[in-house]
Amino acid sequence: VAESLGDGTLRLWDPLGPRILRTIEPGELAPGGPCLRYSADGSRLAGIDSRGAIAVWDARTWATLASFPPLCPSATALAWLPSGVLAGGYEDGSVRLWDFERRDLLAAWPGSGAEVVDLSPTDDGAGLATLSSDGTLCHRSPGGSPESVLRVPTGRSTRDLRLALGGRAVLSDEEEGCVLTEPARGRRVALVERDLCRARTSHRDTVAVALPGDVIQIHDLARGETRTLCEVPLRGICSLAFSPSGEFLAAGSIGYEAALIEVPSGRVRVRGAPCDGVRPIACSPTGRWLGIGSGYAADAFVLSSAGRTVIPLFGHTRPISGIAFSEDERWVVTACRDGWLRT
Taking the whole predicted model, whether its pTM rises above 0.85 is answered as no
Reported confidence tier of residue 310, pLDDT bands at 50, 70, 90: confident
Which pLDDT belongs to residue 32? 40
CA distances from 80 to 40, 43, 85, 87, 91 (A): 7, 12, 6, 6, 19
Number of H helices, E strands in the chain: 0, 34
Q: Is 105 exposed, middle or buried (0-12, 13-18, 19+ CB in 10 A)?
A: middle
* Concatenated DSSP letters of 30-63: PTTS--EEE-TTSSEEEEEBTTS-EEEEETTT--
Give me the mean pLDDT over the 116-120 stretch.
87
Mind listing the pLDDT tens digit for each residue in 7-34? Answer: 667 777 776 666 777 776 654 554 444 4
Mind listing the pLDDT tens digit for each residue in 40-52? Answer: 777 888 877 666 6
- Percent helix, percent strand, percent coil in the chain, to nearest 5: 0, 55, 45
From the list 229, 228, 221, 295, the residue with the least C-alpha distance to 259 is 229
Pairing of strands 257-262, 248-253: antiparallel
Reported confidence tier of residue 182, pLDDT bands at 50, 70, 90: confident
3-state DSSP assignment of residue 305? coil
Mind listing the pLDDT tens digit for each residue in 133-161? Answer: 888 888 888 776 777 788 887 777 677 78
Percent of the chain with pLDDT over 70: 86
Give me the mean pLDDT over the 91-111 stretch.
84
